[in-house]
Structure 1
């Protein structure tokens, strides 16, 4: 069995691409001639089909970087198969707005290879003006290490926006990529946006407010519609009024349209035990996590049904208002203070 990096990567890619999507993915990859694609027998087992493709790759002398392009084609079509982390590019320079693909690609690659040569990059521009970068890293502790294409990371940057998105990075990779993004985009700092999710489209839309948020006029129209639909002689007026109020307050917090699909919302809480005479030195920490296939829809539904009290807590409404789903909440009261102490840190 071939154990070369090219063969191992192709085996991994073939295991991930659904059989019904394989032909379309190979067509988008664009490196195999039509007659060779048509000659493939998609009824074969994955192993047999992989061996056939590997023979074709050897015939065309495709390198591991070419196979990395096949994986990249699949990931660009199915980004929801990975977990994405949002980054916020800040302190824009004078030339940041004029950055184009060529400048970004050359500057990013130059800075990255100046720091470490144990990398292999694939860069593409998607149809929605997004720049996609695939990076295979070697062991930066060894000058002889080769890039590991089985553990590549992805970066997506939408031109003319101060946001980028990455798959999971190590702390060392994060430092290098933050620096390279800053140089390539003209921003002087890159920070974690405290927003993660499996749907790249959802977290992008949440950050740049690219989804329809409900307006006061729209809410009034929706309430009037619900009054007509919900009227039932068996429902007393007070119950109907409460239901309408809960719906309106839920709309104020989350809107009345389809919401971006987030899977989790995390609150990291920190406080100290205190009374009038004593405060503990060591903080008490805990984490509260909400999980759902669409956590925003679930929270709105809970508010509408009275499971969550209304008006909705500002800690929940901040998800859509600030475009975040990771929050750090600290108790900052001095000893003896009775004022509200919750503070959400950036």
Structure 2
């Protein structure tokens, strides 16, 4: 195993929490079950990393193998990335093509590698409904930086993709082009949605895309308020407990639809977050707190 690959593997192992080490190495599916049994998970992490490196050297691990471990780690710790939501579209009246995973991966990789001499592109199908793409960018004069990759999470059955922040801004248009062409779409737009809570973002756009009967039955209200409501979950949905909002998952049935005043309040909430204002403070009105809890229940109990 090359020295740079061994160092990349060492750093990847060192950032994995000991409590998750076994689960992540098993999900990686590179080492055999017998090899995993030989690893002492109670030793210091730097010794553990060296033990894993020796096992991987016996199996002649390549850079591609270690990159897959980094993808698995990121899937476990997706909240460490800042995710942006993009929506793609086809031409009006254009037929929907059957998705071919191999063709998608080949096309995506080919587009990037034709444009850039030094780029590493890796894929991992996750839970059968999404493909995780990891892109390590280099330049004309430098090898790909494996420590600052960009991740793309694409759901082939939807027009949505979630892309982590990229440290090389000049590569963003190329990444969008590769995703658009490989998925056979004609346009890609940013939805002005971003959060570290990937699952919350998915809940927002998938509810809208699937036209949930409960949500689509809401009548009246300001259009701006409804758009603000779609943004709500990544503001106070999944991360709400870390912000201090409590709500009951066991409420019987779905809450009643929001009123006109609540939709308007939701829009105000959206404006507050855009302006960087705190959602509440120690002296917040109890009615405002009840309003936030109720909106959480609308999303979490419907």
Q: TM-score, normalised by structure 2?
A: 0.70
Structure 1 residues 306 and 131, CA gap change in structure 2 (3 angstroms): closer
Q: Give the corresponding residue for 1:160.
A: 157
Q: Over residues 94-142 of structure 1, what are the superposed CA-to-partner deviations in whole Å (9 max), with x where a residue is unaligned?
A: 3554223122111111111111131111112111511110111112x32
Q: Give the corresponding residue for 1:184.
A: 182
Structure 1 residues 306 and 132, CA gap change in structure 2 (3 angstroms): closer
Q: Give the corresponding residue for 2:43.
A: 44
Contact map agreement 2:68 2:124 (CA 8 A) in 1: no
- What SS does the corresponding residue of 1:150 show, helix, strand or coil? coil
Contact map agreement 2:84 2:164 (CA 8 A) in 1: yes
CA distance in 2, matches of 1:176, 1:189: 13
Q: How does 1:151-300 map to 2 (within 5 A)?
A: 151-169=148-166, 170-209=168-207, 213=215, 248=259, 251-252=262-263, 266-267=273-274, 288-290=275-277
1:305 is the counterpart of 2:292: no
Structure 1 residues 88 and 111, CA gap change in structure 2 (3 angstroms): same
Bigger Rg, which one: 1
Q: Give the corresponding residue for 2:250.
A: none
Contact map agreement 1:134 1:155 (CA 8 A) in 2: yes
Q: Give the corresponding residue for 1:58.
A: 57
Structure 1 residues 42 and 131, CA gap change in structure 2 (3 angstroms): same
Q: Give the corresponding residue for 2:295.
A: none
Structure 1 residues 202 and 66, CA gap change in structure 2 (3 angstroms): same
Q: Over residues 48-85 of structure 1, what are the superposed CA-to-partner deviations in whole Å (9 max), with x where a residue is unaligned?
A: 00111111111111012211111111212331121111
Contact map agreement 1:250 1:304 (CA 8 A) in 2: no
Structure 1 residues 43 and 115, CA gap change in structure 2 (3 angstroms): same
Unaligned runs of 5+ in 2: 220-257, 292-298
Q: Over residues 18-38 of structure 1, what are the superposed CA-to-partner deviations in whole Å (9 max), with x where a residue is unaligned?
A: 111111111111111111111
Question: What number of residue pairs does the alignment pair up?
Answer: 244
- What SS does the corresponding residue of 1:136 show, helix, strand or coil? strand
Structure 1 residues 92 and 50, CA gap change in structure 2 (3 angstroms): farther
Unaligned runs of 5+ in 1: 218-246, 256-262, 268-287, 310-319, 321-346
1:88 is the counterpart of 2:75: no
- What SS does the corresponding residue of 1:113 show, helix, strand or coil? helix
> Which structure's residues are more often strand, by fraction?
1
Q: Over residues 155-214 of structure 1, what are the superposed CA-to-partner deviations in whole Å (9 max), with x where a residue is unaligned?
A: 011112111111111321211101101111111121221110011111111122268649
